[in-house]
Structure 1
Amino acid sequence: MESRIQNNMGSTSIESNKGIEYLALNCRKHSAVLTDFGAIGDGKTSNTKAFREAITKLTTKAVDGGVQLIVPPGNWLTGSFNLTSHFTLFIQQGATILASQDESEYPMIPPLPSYGDARFTSLIYGSNLTDVVITGNKGTINGQGKSWWVKYRSGGFKSISRPLLIEIIFSENVQISNINLIDSPMWNIHPVYCKNVIVKDIKIVAPIDSPNTDGINPDSCTNTLIEDCSVVSGDDCIAVKSGIDQFGIATGMPTQQLSIRRLTCISPDSAGIAIGSEMSGGIKDVRIEDVTLINTQSAIRIKTAVGRGGYVKDIFARRFTMKTMKYVFWMTGSYKLHPVGGFDHKALPEISNINYRDMTAENVTISAKLEGIKNDPFTGLCMSNVTIALSPDPKKLQWNCTDVSGVTSRVKPEPCSLLPDKGTTMDCDFPTDKIPIESVVLNKCYA
């Protein structure tokens, strides 16, 4: 293997056989190809051993300028494998990593501290890493999720989380970009307890009736950018989280400094962006802009309940274009999911300073369902410059509001009395500064 590892620095140009150009947080000095480790890309032969051996051997060179593993064209069947630091997994166009459907290929791992439920490891997994990149030039990861969905619908996995496609935990400087994800058994991308995360140019596709196939779920992360992504899913396109009930409260790691921009979403039974319901560690300073939603249940849905504790505050959204929606605005204070007992019934969430502006929607059934919590109202709601065109058969009650307070300006249809009109000159807030990750300039690298 040593003789096959190539120095990837100081090459010339693509035209001079430099390789495939891509953008990354860091370039790598050393490079190897999956076939160097005996992998066979016929879609039938298991390559779990090859992936694991490749990363183990490359790890020894990672501190010397970093390493990358190139997955060439072919269909590469594999079970779960772990990444390492200062590492790039590059999936070439025409290459597909096929997730094994054999449950024994996914070891059980300890519960996440902020959740407490049993779980399989993800297909691609990493813990306590620094500087890890998963990218390509439109290569594919196919989760082959159908068998997992069938078993789940038949009553399996009720107390065990199915494998995710990509999960990175307790890590910093993470990039996931420029690849396609298909048919995940459950969530697609889950950075959790991470700092400095970029998710960029990702295309995610799953059947619109597939269970829990969330697209991108930033969870207890700080300084995260999600941009230029498209999701077709059976669940939320993006779900922002920070742990659940007593587990999330005890862990106390919020999601904060999150920017989501240029998202396209189709999800008839779920939200474009969900915030919660797992929000017990807190969620704050979220900026969402330039979003297109087509045939999606709701735009931004805030989900929480008595027992969650935590907070959702300082949420800013603007420039949404929506076509065929059940709801535009949806906030739920009675989300009933509590995976285990023992949560504190006195732990009330704080929902405050939620800002929506510059939005258009057409073919909408219900403009808003805003349900706070009795004796714990959701406060500081703001909506400005929002135009909603109703479907041919809309609900008679367009604004269903309880236990909320806020203000509106230039919103049609006319909002409920709990959100009074403050005149034509008011606009809801949107920050003028940037979160740090938005200023990061990626390097030009080669595979």
Structure 2
Amino acid sequence: MRWRSAFISVVLLTLVTVEKPQWVGAQSFHCKHSKSGALRPHSVSITEFGAVGDGVTLNTKAFQNAIFYLHSFADKGGAQLFVPAGKWLTGSFSLISHLTLSLDNDAIIIGSTDLDDWPIIDPLPSYGRGRELPGNRHQSLIHGYNLTDVVITGGNGTIDGQGSIWWDLFKNNTLNYTRPHLVELMYSIGVVISNLTFTNSPFWAIHPVYCSQVLIQNVTILAPLDSPNTDGIDPDSSTNVCIKDCYISTGDDLIVIKSGWDEYGISFARPSSNISIKGILGQTKFGAGIAIGSEMSGGVSEVHAEGIHIFNSLYGIRIKTSPGRGGYVRNIYISNVIMTDVKYAIRITGQFGEHPDDNYDPNALPYINRITFKDIYGEHIGFAGLLEGIKGDNFSDICLSGVLLNATGSEDPQWNCSYVEGYSYQVYPVSCQLLQQVPNDSSVCYAPADNCMKLASL
């Protein structure tokens, strides 16, 4: 097939550069940056507050006292808290507005292994309970609430959650509360997280929830491939989010967009929208490279992901939902993706289950519409795709365009579809009959205006 040969040529040229997290240079796709490199007029070192970087001394009070002191500079251009080289053991601490937390290249902030150093806080209102257990949850190592203009950055310093103690508690069913994240910022605006390495998160690593104007750039996120639920970046009920140029290797989804859980997410009604993802490289043993859901009851829309390389993973791209979720997933455009050694290239799941309690409405059906997967190439793919909607609630306008997968699984057919409607154009293996083959995709497949999603200025 002539189109197939041409497509392979383009993909192979792309593959040469995809190993570098900053390989994408699409002119029509960009995120406007905030002043992530702006200098604060006031700066202090954590050592000025008695902190000791020996990896043994607990420095929670030093972090708390330093940040309390810097609060007086919030209306004077803000301030910087500098963490120099060393191993800085600490429990959870909270940030303030107009603050830059900056780590030296050889600085490591280490989470305490004493569970009492991670306070218990209320569940998220859009979840109604802890994500893992009914009731409350542990506060993240680095926490923020109702902040404006906060930056977490450095010269590729490290934030290490020492998550193995939490993973063991989870596996042994001995947790009392839901595990903490490494970083969680709530109800905040103007957030920048950049140039750092995050390792061994107890649970999800970076969790902006109820936030807007968020930039996450040039971060590395690492956890053992068998670590449970160690998602990389989880924008949750957040808008105007840009994630770019990251390397992520974890036990669960690399990047997953969420917006609340069943009746609680429906009632809270705060969607995730205007999400840009670009230049991501990574692997995951139990999750997907790019995922949406399964908690999407507040709605997810206007998501544009481009320039993704997923390898050695269970799923490439996944959308997860269920009866009882309500909400919607619409106007999703994922393009320019390379997958290598991925078991399932694309999976849409309409029966994911997992409900917070028995009070959800099983008739609250999700609305899934206008989903485009474009220019996707895969080598050593186990199964091309499982696209499973919900009986009586067909997922519509699902479009595959320029999708070439070297599927090696023994199952036949390579695409398995149910309760979906849509289109396909230049797809190999040939897609399922429920996706009507069309002569071109220019008029039937959803695409962002001008093939570009422009974020509001941060």
TM-score (norm 2): 0.89
Deviation, 1:156, is 2.1
Q: Which amino acid aligns with 2:107?
A: A
Choose which of 75, 86, 89 in structure 2 pairs with 1:77. 89
- Say if 2:288 is the partner of 1:271: yes
1:377·1:403 contact (CA, 8 Å) conserved in 2?
Answer: yes
Choose which of 244, 256, 270 in structure 2 pairs with 1:253. 270
Q: Which amino acid aligns with 1:277?
A: S
Query: 1:426–1:52: structure 2 CA closer, same or farther, 3 Å change rule?
Result: same
Q: Counterpart of 1:4?
A: none
2:284·2:312 contact (CA, 8 Å) conserved in 1?
Answer: yes
**Which structure 2 residues correspond to residues 128-207 of structure 1 after superposition, within 5 A?**
128-157=146-175, 160-207=177-224
Distance in 2 between residues matched to 1:436 and 1:381, nearest whole Å: 23
**Which structure 2 residues correspond to residues 8-19 of structure 1 after superposition, within 5 A?**
none
Distance in 2 between residues matched to 1:36 and 1:435, nearest whole Å: 44
**Which structure 2 residues correspond to residues 78-117 of structure 1 after superposition, within 5 A?**
78-117=90-129
- Say if 2:399 is the partner of 1:382: yes
Choose which of 13, 31, 34 in structure 1 pairs with 2:46. 34
Deviation, 1:62, is 1.7
CA-to-aligned-CA distance 1:256-300 (integer Å, 9 cap, x gap): 000000001201221001100000000000000000000111122
Deviation, 1:111, is 1.0
Choose which of 218, 225, 234 in structure 1 pairs with 2:242. 225
Choose which of 415, 422, 443 in structure 2 pairs with 1:406. 422
Q: Which amino acid aligns with 2:54?
A: D
Unaligned segments of structure 2, at least 5 residues = 1-33, 130-135
CA-to-aligned-CA distance 1:223-256 (integer Å, 9 cap, x gap): 0000001110100001100000011000000000
Deviation, 1:192, is 0.4
Distance in 2 between residues matched to 1:37 and 1:63, nearest whole Å: 22
Deviation, 1:113, is 0.7
Deviation, 1:425, is 6.2
Choose which of 431, 437, 448 in structure 2 pairs with 1:415. 431
Q: Counterpart of 2:311?
A: 294
Choose which of 141, 150, 154 in structure 2 pairs with 1:123. 141
Q: Which amino acid aligns with 1:96?
A: I
Distance in 2 between residues matched to 1:319 and 1:433, nearest whole Å: 12
Q: Which amino acid aligns with 2:201?
A: S
Deviation, 1:210, is 0.2
| SS state at 1:202 partner | strand
Q: Which amino acid aligns with 1:287?
A: H
Number of equivalenced pairs: 417
2:126·2:265 contact (CA, 8 Å) conserved in 1?
Answer: yes
Distance in 1 between residues matched to 2:43 and 2:266, nearest whole Å: 43
**Which structure 2 residues correspond to residues 1-12 of structure 1 after superposition, within 5 A?**
none
Q: Which amino acid aligns with 1:122?
A: S
2:213·2:456 contact (CA, 8 Å) conserved in 1?
Answer: no
Q: Counterpart of 2:347?
A: 330
Deviation, 1:160, is 2.5
Q: Which amino acid aligns with 2:100?
A: T
| SS state at 1:63 partner | helix
| SS state at 2:203 partner | coil
Q: Which amino acid aligns with 2:90?
A: T
1:25·1:133 contact (CA, 8 Å) conserved in 2?
Answer: no
| SS state at 1:201 partner | strand
Query: 1:387–1:436: structure 2 CA closer, same or farther, 3 Å change rule?
Result: closer
CA-to-aligned-CA distance 1:130-186 (integer Å, 9 cap, x gap): 0000000100000100011011100122x7320100000001000011100000000
Query: 1:174–1:435: structure 2 CA closer, same or farther, 3 Å change rule?
Result: farther
Deviation, 1:109, is 0.6
Q: Counterpart of 1:17?
A: none
| SS state at 2:436 partner | coil
| SS state at 2:185 partner | strand
Choose which of 206, 211, 217 in structure 1 pairs with 2:228. 211
| SS state at 2:65 partner | helix
Distance in 1 between residues matched to 2:151 and 2:455, nearest whole Å: 15
2:331·2:446 contact (CA, 8 Å) conserved in 1?
Answer: no
Query: 1:401–1:433: structure 2 CA closer, same or farther, 3 Å change rule?
Result: closer
CA-to-aligned-CA distance 1:29-55 (integer Å, 9 cap, x gap): 100001000000000000000000000
Query: 1:425–1:381: structure 2 CA closer, same or farther, 3 Å change rule?
Result: closer
Structural RMSD (CA): 1.5
Q: Which amino acid aligns with 2:416?
A: N
Q: Counterpart of 1:243?
A: 260
Q: Counterpart of 1:9?
A: none
- Say if 2:330 is the partner of 1:313: yes
| SS state at 2:437 partner | coil
| SS state at 1:161 partner | coil
Distance in 2 between residues matched to 1:65 and 1:94, nearest whole Å: 27
Deviation, 1:336, is 1.4
Q: Which amino acid aligns with 1:333?
A: G
Q: Counterpart of 1:443?
A: none
Deviation, 1:24, is 1.0
| SS state at 1:396 partner | coil
Distance in 2 between residues matched to 1:299 and 1:263, nearest whole Å: 12
Query: 1:145–1:423: structure 2 CA closer, same or farther, 3 Å change rule?
Result: same
Choose which of 286, 289, 304 in structure 1 pairs with 2:321. 304
1:364·1:394 contact (CA, 8 Å) conserved in 2?
Answer: no
Q: Which amino acid aligns with 1:412?
A: Y
Distance in 1 between residues matched to 2:74 and 2:456, nearest whole Å: 27
Q: Counterpart of 2:24?
A: none
Runs of 4+ in 1 over 4 A off after TM superposition: 424-427, 433-436
Q: Which amino acid aligns with 2:161?
A: G
- Say if 2:406 is the partner of 1:394: no
Query: 1:436–1:52: structure 2 CA closer, same or farther, 3 Å change rule?
Result: farther
